[in-house]
Structures are given as C-alpha cells and as structure tokens.
Amino acid sequence: MTEDVRRVGVVGGGAWGTAMALAALRAGRETVLWAREPAVVEAIRRDRENRDYLPGVPLPAELEATADPAGPAGCDAVLLVTPAQHLRSVAARLAPHLKPGTPAVICAKGIEIGTRALMTEAVAAVLPPGTPLAVLSGPTFAAEVARGLPTAVTLACADAALGARLLEALGSLTFRPYLTDDVIGAQVGGAVKNVLAIACGVVVGRRLGDNARAALITRGLAEITRLAVALGGRPETLMGLSGLGDLTLTCSSLQSRNMSLGAALGEGRALDDVLGERRSVAEGVYTARAVVALAGQLGVDMPICRAVDAILTGGAGVDETIRGLLSRPFREEEG
C-alpha cells in the first residue's frame, strides 16, 4: 500500500528530474521539485515551464518548486535525479534534512570517477546510516516521460516490501515500473549503456552503417553483462529493461545525448566544442573513464568501452580506434 508514500521529493531540476516529478504527480503523489539554480525554480513558479531544460512541457500548479534542500527532504520518499558525478555532493547537502528511514530512489546513471563507486555506494557514504535505497533505471527519454507517453522501467530494491511500496507509489497507466532485487545489475546496465551509445553515435557520424551499429549493441551488451557479473549482478537482469531495453533505446536514436555526442565526434567535431554547446550532461563522457578503470581493476575485458575512453580522454583518433576494434582476433561468440 502507499499510505507512507503520499509526498515525493525530486532532487534535481534538469530534464529528467522534471520528467520524474511529472510522473510522480500522475501517480497521485504530492510532489516537490528541488533545483540547484534559483532561476530555474523561479521560472517554474512564474511560467509553469522549465524552459532551460524541458521547454514546451507545461507544469501543473500542483508541482511545487524550491531551491531549499529541506523541501524534498521532508517528503515520504526522495528521488535523486542529479548528474552522476554530482550525486554524492548533492546527497550530502540533502542528508542533514532527511527524516530517518526516508527511502532514497537513485535515478542517476553512472559510475563515479576516482572512486569507481556505483551510485548506491556513493550515496550510502553520505546519507544517514540505514537510509533505505532503491534504483530506478531503464529506457527513458525525459521528454517522452514528461509528456506522459508509455514508458516501462526497472525499479531495483533489495528490500522487497519497500520495493513494492515504491512501485505502487510511482506506477501509473503510462509509467510502469518492474521490480527486481538486483540493484547492482540495474546500475551497471544504466551506466555502461551511455558509453556504448557514444560508440554507436560515432558509427552514425562516420556512416559505417546499421550492421556496425547492431554489432556494437550486441557486443556492448556482452561487455555490460561481464562487468555486472564481476560485481555481483545477475546476467538475466541485463536482458531486461535496465540492460537491453535501455541500451537499445540509447543506441538507436539521436534524441540520446550520448549518441548525438558520438555522432558529432564521428563527423569530426572536437569534444570540447560539442560540450560547450550543451547545457545538458552526456553522462557517458565521464562514465567511460570510470568504467575502464573499474574493468581494469576487476580484470574484465571491455574493448568497446576502452575505445570510447581512448577517443574521449586519450586523444586517440576516431579512424585509428575503429581500425583497432576491427583488427581484434576472430573468436567464438560468447557472453
């Protein structure tokens, strides 16, 4: 039942945070949206629109907007929807205001640079001890969720009873969570698919064809699965929404921030120039480095992710990197 999840706080005023706030409203929850930028809060209050991050989507008067971290912290559950590399610091800012036992649902996808921590590990280090955690991941373009188009996601929670309450609290006719207890697998799928989407974008930008993109998706899924299993996740999780589903969406549409960035790189544009034009974050740019470091630590072979990181941070040329992947020894197909 949902008696204890009447009011939901959404932490993060970007496109995805705004979309999740609308999803919570449609599920019948009172909803408070916290944004770091006061100008975003003021625009939402005044114009009932987040023009900086989600233009063209009307925001109902029932949606509260605040720049005070105590606002969402007083709710029955909080959704953490900030960029992955800032999640730890934002959670630390929220922590003093959080009521004991308030569940935190992590909606950010990434692996922390430097620490190589999954998002649950980063958040657990700064939130009050014993804070119940869950992860929401899956194939989601923010604009479509915001407009109420049909969407299915994975809700991962080790506590089955809490997972069921959160599922009922967030689920609606057009936003359908599916429950799992594989928190690790759900996080790895959501993080690594952003790196692979950059690779698929490069394929599009270099006009290498749909065959090549399909091959990257398939072999990329094998890389995700290897890393998830090495960390303790289950391979079947990666066959679901937070793995194959998210990977397919992100690698098949230039709506994807990561795929469109890769396409620009494939066309020969410089990374700094592409990033300089954007307000939104392409998580794969930062996650690539963390994924490669974590894979090296665990002895997991991830050649596509290594190739993306070599282009992004190692100064490798696109054509040289593609040749390197195509020159790998022939082998049996396996996971």
Cα→Cα distances 95→126, 129, 131, 239, 334, Å: 7, 10, 10, 34, 44
SS (H, E, C) 202-255: HHHHCCCCHHHHHHHHHHHHHHHHHHHHHHCCCHHHHHCHHHHHHHHHHCCCCC
Any idea which residue has 């009011």 for tokens?
Answer: 7
> What pLDDT is attached to residue 335?
60
Q: Judge if pTM exceeds 0.75.
A: yes
> What pLDDT is attached to residue 280?
81
Tens digits of per-residue pLDDT, 316-331? 999 999 999 999 999 8
Tens digits of per-residue pLDDT, 170-187? 999 999 999 999 999 999
Residue 279's pLDDT band, with cuts at 50, 70 and 90, is confident
Mean pLDDT for the chain overall = 95
What is the arrangement of strands in the sheet containing 175-180, beginning at the earlier edge strand?
64-66, 30-34, 7-11, 77-80, 104-106, 133-137, 151-156, 175-180
How much is the CA Rg of the chain, to the nearest whole Å? 19
> What pLDDT is attached to residue 25?
97
Rounded Cα distance between 104 and 77, Å, is 6
The mean per-residue pLDDT over the stretch 192-216 comes to 97
Tens digits of per-residue pLDDT, 15-63? 999 999 999 999 999 999 999 999 999 999 999 999 999 999 999 999 9
- CB atoms near residue 152 (< 10 Å): 16
Give me the domains of the chain, ranges plus CATH numbers. 7-181 (3.40.50.720), 187-326 (1.10.1040.10)
Cα→Cα distances 287→118, 188, 194, Å: 11, 11, 8
> What pLDDT is attached to residue 333?
84
Candidates 193, 213, 289, 306; catalytic one: 193
CB 215 within 8 A of CB 278: no
Q: Say which amino acid occupies 210.
A: D
Tens digits of per-residue pLDDT, 80-92? 999 999 999 999 9
Kindly state the tokens that stand for 110: 């990434």
Question: Is 193 part of the annotated catalytic residue set?
Answer: yes
> What pLDDT is attached to residue 2?
44
Kindly state the tokens that stand for 240: 């679901």
Share of the chain above pLDDT 90, in %: 94
Residue 189's pLDDT band, with cuts at 50, 70 and 90, is very high
Rounded Cα distance between 197 and 249, Å, is 9
Residue 266's pLDDT band, with cuts at 50, 70 and 90, is very high
Looking at the predicted structure, is the pLDDT value of residue 1 above 50?
no
Rounded Cα distance between 257 and 111, Å, is 17
> What pLDDT is attached to residue 167?
96
> What pLDDT is attached to residue 20?
98
Tens digits of per-residue pLDDT, 62-71? 999 999 999 9
Tens digits of per-residue pLDDT, 101-149? 999 999 999 999 999 999 999 999 999 999 999 999 999 999 999 999 9
